[in-house]
């Protein structure tokens, strides 16, 4: 008997990014997105995260690409839980490789 496929496989068209931006006051903000350039523009326009209002302009300090949304979300949570010193170490290691 011939097997019938009921659904088409889900095709993922996006890449997801976790990023850290440095604010003009020296604080860091971590987030995730599927369009990193657009998100940075949004943050610098004063729209987006409430935390960043009045803290711009912001500068992209770190990002990492993921294939799946859930992986990016988990990494964002992990980074948000790091102390500032560990975030700075992560950024420093990123800068050395890029």
Domain containing residue 78: CATH number: 3.40.1440.10
Structural domain contains residue 9: no
Task: Tell me 25's DSSP state.
Answer: T
C-alpha 15/C-alpha 43 separation (Å) is: 20
Structural domain contains residue 7: no
Number of domains composing the chain: 1
CB 25 within 8 A of CB 49: no
pLDDT computed for residue 46 by the predictor: 82
Reported pTM: 0.82
Enclosing domain of residue 26? 16-97
Q: Split the chain (98 residues) into runs of 10 and give each run's mean pLDDT.
A: 67 84 93 93 86 87 94 96 95 91
């Amino acid at each position: 008997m011939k097997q019938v496929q009921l659904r088409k496989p889900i095709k993922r068209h996006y890449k997801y990014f976790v990023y850290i931006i440095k604010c003009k006051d020296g604080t860091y903000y971590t987030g995730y997105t599927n369009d990193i350039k657009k998100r940075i523009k949004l943050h610098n326009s004063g729209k987006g995260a409430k935390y960043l209002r009045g803290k711009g302009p912001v500068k992209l300090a770190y990002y990492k690409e993921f294939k799946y949304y859930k992986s990016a979300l988990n990494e964002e949570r992990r980074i948000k839980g790091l102390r500032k010193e560990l975030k700075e170490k992560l950024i420093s290691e990123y800068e050395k490789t890029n």
